[in-house]
Structure 1
């Protein structure tokens, strides 16, 4: 199972157009960072960030369906996933929430969850003019990994690059058209 997961992650990296940057890798951990500018207000980006079902790749869920993801965006809240008919998964626990500015969560995502790894993901939002928002994502992981952090860092790098690209795409998408009484035919 674990090898299949690593193979899926490697495939995702090959097919991912934008990859985050591995800033540092050591025997005890790694740091991945990526910054993107999103052509949307900080409020729009914040609301999109809080709705992972809109931007997190279904290929990187346990259920195979991004619609099962949600964030309870308060400290001690959860970035979780429903496993219909089977249970649920806590991907991360929210530890710092500053509306429109910062969201920080603690959690070892995906196959890292089964290893002795502690990780923190931070999204920092800052305005770029009137109509854009800079988002800096940082993922710091440490502990023990039988796989080795030197091997894991580039895999995580690719997966997180995919997620940040998804956030950008979702936040920049036009809002859905309103549904009126005449549209329900």
Structure 2
């Protein structure tokens, strides 16, 4: 599994302005944080986050190869899902919805799910003078026999790609209110 993750990261180029940081690593998990500044308001950014996920999520980070299969059901107990015909994945469950400032999801993204790892993923949208700062924080915990020193930076990189996809999408769209 580790080799696959490292290969995915090595094959993926970063072309985004998201700031990434592994904030904490322990024997039982890690905390990562990524940030991006976008010119749109929190309200417009929120709409893109929720309703346009299939337009900004990296398609190569999907189970079925097409970003357009992603959806976010923005309600408590809702689903961050990927559905392609009979193939279906609940990537995460929606726990907190506070438009336009906080969306919290829980679960394990990608290979973390099959590894039995669990986390809380917060999308925080903060109004700034120039638009919105989006902060993506993922707190992952569980038991990984290989530890988290190699895994945390890989997940951080992938989270940066995902947040960068949203940032690039919002930067290319007109900043409408």
| Common fold by TM > 0.5 | yes
CA contact (8 A) 1:10 1:155 kept: no
Does residue 58 of structure 1 match 2:59?
Answer: yes
Deviates more, 1:98-107 or 1:48-57: 48-57
CA offsets per residue over residues 61-114 of structure 1, 9 Å max, x none?
Answer: 001110000000111001100133x42001100000001010000011011111
Structure 1 residues 89-104: aligned runs within 5 Å:
89-104=89-104
Please report the TM-score for the alignment, with normalisation by the length of structure 2.
0.89
Q: Which has the larger radius of gyration?
A: 1
SS at 1:149 equivalent: coil
What is the alpha-carbon distance in structure 2 between the residues aligned to residue 163 and residue 58 of structure 1? Answer: 10
What is the alpha-carbon distance in structure 2 between the residues aligned to residue 120 and residue 102 of structure 1? Answer: 12
Residue 179 of structure 1 is matched in structure 2 by none
1:17: Cα distance to partner? 3.7
SS at 1:48 equivalent: helix
1:55: Cα distance to partner? 1.1
Aligned residues: 171
Structure 1 residues 5-20: aligned runs within 5 Å:
5-12=5-12, 15-18=13-16, 20=20
What is the alpha-carbon distance in structure 2 between the residues aligned to residue 75 and residue 155 of structure 1? Answer: 29
Q: Following superposition, which runs of at least 4 residues in structure 1 exceed 4 angstroms of deviation?
A: none
Residue 112 of structure 1 is matched in structure 2 by 112
1:142: Cα distance to partner? 0.5
Q: Can you give the 5+ residue segments of structure 1 that lack an aligned partner in the other structure? A: 176-185
CA offsets per residue over residues 119-139 of structure 1, 9 Å max, x none?
Answer: 11001111112x501111100
Structure 1 residues 1-185: aligned runs within 5 Å:
3-12=3-12, 15-18=13-16, 20-50=20-50, 51-84=52-85, 86-129=86-129, 131-174=130-173
What is the alpha-carbon distance in structure 2 between the residues aligned to residue 24 and residue 40 of structure 1? Answer: 30
CA contact (8 A) 1:81 1:88 kept: yes
What is the alpha-carbon distance in structure 2 between the residues aligned to residue 69 and residue 55 of structure 1? Answer: 10
What is the alpha-carbon distance in structure 2 between the residues aligned to residue 106 and residue 9 of structure 1? Answer: 23
What is the alpha-carbon distance in structure 1 between the residues aligned to residue 100 and residue 43 of structure 2? Answer: 6
CA contact (8 A) 1:83 1:89 kept: no
Residue 180 of structure 1 is matched in structure 2 by none
1:165: Cα distance to partner? 0.8
Please report the TM-score for the alignment, with normalisation by the length of structure 1.
0.86
